[in-house]
Chains A and B, each alone.
Chain A
């Protein structure tokens, strides 16, 4: 059963006379209890999707499409109704844990803030949050609450933001590049944290990342994004071990463990997208058809893929 359904989501940012097409016609669904990963290079529109789910984009962004959550279209909800969903039903774990904590408030207050406006639940919630902090490998949570964010290490801050986003027991946790800016050891810790969230708390997660290791360890299904489009969507193990789309192949080969082979070229300008397949300029399989006709996303071997190459075969 799908808990969150994104249908034909497009996001554009007007910039001067041009429009930047950040996300175009993205559709996917997240089933209950699963961890859905979105991977792709920087600027492929991953974070914009995460932000647009909760309507957190700047006011000038033009969002079209639908996002269904429990039968409600999040994109057309009233602000007051949206506030009931933000943080309570869907919570977003922000991209940069160092910046996501207010430097002048003690950590305890920042956790309490989630329960603000709900006094009865505050005490109960704090107890649960302290328990959660212990679970997520944060030692001595009571003392931690009396400290300021700058007194914690990066990994601790990251786990604390995870706690904050989980403490209201949301139905969906959207984690936006949770391992960004962490050292390898803290990254390994983050993998543990997310595995734990997944196995013990049975949370549905949307994991937006470019850390392929994390995606491989944690995700059930993965969507690969390129230039604002989903190019491949399948089971995580299938996508990451037997990639079909040439871009996914390139992405995986560029991983240090697989030889650090860079993809030639650059991703296209989002103001003026190339004709045909968005990837054809960099694709080594590209054909005449690729530069003329934009490929539709098709079912192939149990997954979805956007490539002429497969349909030609």
Chain B
């Protein structure tokens, strides 16, 4: 009786499955669109990182003799109404947009996750108050809310980041709260409590890893939105100071010369479109790969 089961096991050829490899990486390589988007993103990030080295001119050097030029050998993408080199400004602008967007997404991801965790995990009055706060923040139209905050704080890179984070954190918080509520009821949480785990440990080790996939998908798609918001605010002339090259501000200043020098709007617009499309494709692909309910998902 005692050894019968062990004997049975010994007779069976008992094969364990292979250890879990880098399935996610494999899947990325299977999807052509994601691979392409990823390469394009790396290209953009590379350009942004090395922008000060590779940009041919000082992005703020005014040269009124060369204003409103079309693309030529000297100025690859032409110049704007003050004779500033468009290529240099787009490169530096990529740096501005990407770094601000990264900051905004990281801050709101962190804030939102923390708030959502606390609200979902503790429930009761804590949940009520945080949820109402989230509702309030989500009820304002994003750009107008950011405009108000920037109007109060004044323009600047840091203030822009702060304003957009204040607008964006609530989305993450709401998503995280929902995730926590569903994960909290799973039995492994009970089992962790049973083995004497504290609240913080459970949140860190059990809840966040289970929710992170969903959050990352949101963050990726949101990245594109944040870049659009930055461009919008700069286009309205309230985001960044005039000496910081930024795509939205370039669009705004170029629109007056659209008939005579259309490249001043085409190139920054193209840059914005490209980066938003890249992040959309990445977010879509990540949702397909990380969402267990999606077809072919082995991660049940």
Say yes or no: is A184 at the interface (Cβ < 8 Å to chain B): no
Determine whether the beta carbon of A137 is less than 8 Å from that of B20: no
| B194-A150 in contact (CB<8A) | no
Number of CB contacts from chain A to chain B under 8 A: 103
Contact A92 B194 (CB under 8 A): yes
Q: Which of B19, B20, B187, B195 has the most CB of A within 10 A?
A: B195
CB distance from A182 to the nearest CB of B (A): 13
B35 interface hit (Cβ, 8 Å): no
In the bound complex, do residue B16 and residue A113 qualify as a contact, i.e. CB atoms below 8 Å apart?
no
Pick the interface stretch among A79-87, A227-235, A256-264, A283-291.
A79-87
Q: Which residue of A lies closest to B193 (CB)?
A: A56
CA distance A139 to B16 in the complex (A): 9
Total number of B residues with any Cβ neighbor in A under 8 Å: 30
Among A14-22, A96-104, A274-282, the stretch that binds chain B is: A96-104
Q: Is B2 an interface residue (CB 8 A)?
A: yes
B190 in the interface (beta carbon within 8 A): yes
Distance of B205 from chain A, by nearest CB (Å): 7
Chain B residue at minimum C-beta to C-beta distance from A109: B205
CB-based contact A146/B19 at 8 Å? yes
Residues of B within 8 A of A32 (CB): none
Return chain B residues, CB-CB under 8 Å to A88.
196
B1 contact set on A, CB distance < 8 A: 192, 195
At the interface, yes or no: B191 with Cβ under 8 Å from chain A?
A: yes
Query: Which of B186, B191, B193 has its CB near the most chain A CB atoms (within 10 A)?
Result: B191
Chain B residues with Cβ under 8 A from A87's Cβ?
A: 194-197
CB <8 Å contact, B194 and A86:
yes
Q: Which residues of B contact A36 (CB under 8 A)?
A: none
Contact A91 B16 (CB under 8 A): no
For A91, list chain B residues within 8 Å (CB): 194-195
Beyond A92-B194, A150-B299: 8 further Cβ-contacts under 8 Å? A83-B198, A87-B195, A94-B187, A94-B191, A102-B192, A106-B20, A139-B16, A192-B1
- Can you show 24 pairs from A to B with CB atoms below 8 A apart? A83-B197, A86-B196, A91-B194, A94-B187, A94-B191, A95-B187, A99-B186, A100-B187, A100-B188, A100-B191, A102-B192, A105-B205, A113-B197, A113-B205, A140-B16, A143-B16, A144-B16, A146-B20, A147-B16, A165-B195, A192-B1, A192-B5, A193-B5, A195-B2
Interface residues of B (CB under 8 A from A): 1-2, 4-6, 9, 14, 16-17, 19-20, 186-188, 190-198, 201, 205-206, 209-210, 299-300
Q: Which residues of A contact B (CB under 8 A)?
A: 54, 56, 83-88, 91-92, 94-96, 99-106, 113-114, 116-117, 137, 139-140, 143-144, 146-148, 150-151, 161, 164-165, 168, 188-189, 192-193, 195-196, 199
